[in-house]
């Protein structure tokens, strides 16, 4: 505490009034950074007729922990981004010492595409002067780490440690939630049926195709089936296109170039060849199935074996007999009935 002796009056007997103020080195009024001044006693006018007076000015500088402003921005991206965004939560935490559990300060809900939130002002240091490190993390409503379904999180800026000697700091946390198109697992099962199947099956190929407009199919993958293969894993494929339109998948038996072809001496029975996945169902799997049926050699048929005659009639893709077969059968039946009546009438005469 500085002390000195000062006159009570000037040369003309006018009494002095003394004041103190806090300044910088240039005598400009200023309070130290991160301190708050309390002026309990900064002015004094001495009594004229009292000798040996003394006075103590009283100013208190109270340390004030600096504050800074925190907010955050949530970005939405990715293909087939839904118009209605899922709800999600973010927790604001801090710690001032290493290897200590963070202190949870706030949890905020981001509703239907909310992109910004203002967390407010927070101190730079704790009461002991240790600098805080602030973090945010994405959670569910209970504060447990979670990212909305069908989204992946990209943490662009989720940790911030302020500077001690900087006034008026602010920081914006940034997180990107990127939409991911769900996928489905696709397999194809190929069976072989019929009499006298060859021990070595002919090579054939299955082409996987898809469309999102219901008309224009694109080839996705071609897989070869040799004599030993009855099931092939085609892999995982997206449920929708990048605009969110659901794909329709189908399989076609082809040659190695993807041109429709059935092995010689066989017909195909289509069990399950078209499928539309459900965009709301996660981790789907679908197994397409078709059967190659061995055609019967006509030279080995008995003259009146109707069962084998029927087996030779071409079949449609849904395993029903072709319309040609029904027309022929109908004509033959009708002719037999008319002919029978004609000959009975002739005999009656």
Residue 307: per-residue pLDDT: 36
Percent of the chain scored above 90 by pLDDT? 68
The CB-side HSE value for 344 (13 A sphere, CA atoms) comes to: 6
Residue 30 domain-assigned (yes or no):
yes
Tokens of 135: 């973090």
Structure confidence at residue 65 (pLDDT): 82
Which pLDDT band, with edges at 50, 70 and 90, does 3 fall under?
low
Q: With 80 as the cut, is the pLDDT of residue 169 above it?
A: yes
pLDDT digits (tens, 9 = 90+) for 251-267: 999 999 999 999 999 99
Mean predicted confidence (pLDDT) in 260-282: 94
**281 inside domain:** yes
Contact present, 120 and 70 (Cβ < 8 Å): yes
Where does a domain end: 129, 147, 179? 179
Is residue 343 assigned to a domain?
Answer: no
When divided into structural domains, the chain yields a total of: 3
Residue 7 inside a domain? The answer is: no
Q: Does residue 323 sit within a domain?
A: no
**pLDDT above 90 for 347:** no
DSSP state of 245: P
325: pLDDT strictly greater than 90: no
Residue 84 or residue 105, greater confidence: 105
Q: Quote the CA–CA distance of 210 and 166 in Å, as a whole number.
A: 59
Instruction: Give the global pTM.
Output: 0.62
Q: What is the C-alpha separation between 28 and 22, in angstroms, rounded?
A: 8
Q: Which residues contact 312 (CB under 8 A, 6 or more apart)?
A: 295, 296, 298, 301
Q: Is residue 199 domain-resident?
A: yes
CA distance 37 to 41: 12
List helix spans (H) across 115-166.
none
Q: pLDDT by residue (tens digit) across 308-317?
A: 333 333 333 3
**What's the domain range around 197?**
183-295
Residue 47 in domain: yes
Report the pLDDT averaged over residues 332-339. 44
Which runs of E-coded beta strand occur in 194-283?
Answer: 204-211, 218-225, 231-238, 248-254, 266-272, 274-275
Torsion of CA 311, 315, 319, 325, to 10 degrees: -80
Helix or strand holding residue 321 (H, E): none
H helices present in the chain, as ranges: 306-311, 323-348
Beta bridge partners of residue 141, listed in sequence order: none
DSSP 66-108: -EEEEEEEEEEEETT--SSPPPEEEEEEEESSTTSPPEEEEEE
Which tens digits make up the pLDDT trace of 129-149?
A: 899 999 999 999 999 999 998
Q: Where is pLDDT greater, at 332 or 184?
A: 184
Same domain, 47 and 95: no
Chain mean pLDDT for the chain: 86
Instruction: Let me know whether 99 and 38 are in one domain.
Output: no
Do the Cβ atoms of 8 and 48 come closer than 8 Å?
yes
- At 312 the pLDDT is 33
Q: Is residue 326 classed as helix, strand or coil in its secondary structure?
A: helix
pLDDT beyond 50 at 337: no
Boundary of a domain, candidates 131, 160, 179: 179
> What is the structure's pLDDT at 236?
96
Please report, for the domain that includes residue 121, its CATH number: 2.60.40.1140
């Amino acid at each position: 505490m500085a002390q000195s002796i000062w006159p009570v009056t000037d040369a003309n007997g006018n009494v002095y009034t003394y004041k103190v103020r806090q300044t910088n080195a240039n005598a400009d009024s200023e309070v130290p950074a991160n301190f708050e001044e309390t002026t309990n006693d900064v002015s004094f006018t001495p009594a004229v007729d009292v000798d040996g007076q003394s006075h103590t000015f009283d100013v208190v500088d109270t340390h004030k922990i600096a504050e800074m402003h925190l907010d955050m921005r949530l970005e939405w991206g990715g293909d087939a981004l839904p118009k209605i965004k899922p709800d999600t939560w973010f927790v604001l935490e801090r710690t001032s010492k290493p290897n200590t559990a963070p202190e949870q300060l706030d949890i905020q809900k981001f509703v239907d595409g909310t992109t910004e939130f203002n967390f407010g002002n927070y101190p730079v240091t704790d009461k002991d002067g240790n600098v805080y490190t602030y973090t945010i993390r994405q959670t569910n409503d209970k504060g447990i780490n979670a990212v909305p379904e069908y989204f992946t999180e990209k943490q662009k800026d989720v940790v911030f440690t302020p500077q001690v000697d900087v006034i008026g700091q602010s920081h914006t946390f940034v997180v990107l939630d990127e939409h991911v198109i769900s996928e489905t697992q696709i397999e194809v099962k190929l069976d072989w049926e019929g009499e006298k199947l060859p021990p070595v099956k002919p090579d054939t190929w299955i082409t996987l195709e898809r469309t999102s407009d219901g008309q224009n199919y694109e080839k996705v993958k071609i897989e070869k089936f040799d004599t030993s293969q009855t099931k092939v894993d085609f892999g995982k494929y997206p449920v929708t296109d990048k605009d969110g339109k659901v794909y329709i998948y189908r399989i076609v038996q082809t040659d190695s170039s993807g041109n429709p072809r059935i092995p010689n001496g066989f017909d195909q029975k289509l069990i399950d060849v078209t499928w539309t996945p459900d965009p709301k169902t996660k981790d789907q799997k679908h197994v397409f199935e078709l059967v190659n049926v061995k055609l019967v050699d006509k030279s080995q048929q008995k003259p009146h074996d109707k069962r084998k005659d029927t087996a030779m009639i071409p079949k449609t893709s849904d395993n029903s007999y072709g319309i040609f077969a029904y027309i022929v059968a109908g004509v033959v039946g009708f002719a037999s009935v008319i002919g029978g009546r004609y000959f009975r009438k002739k005999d009656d005469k």
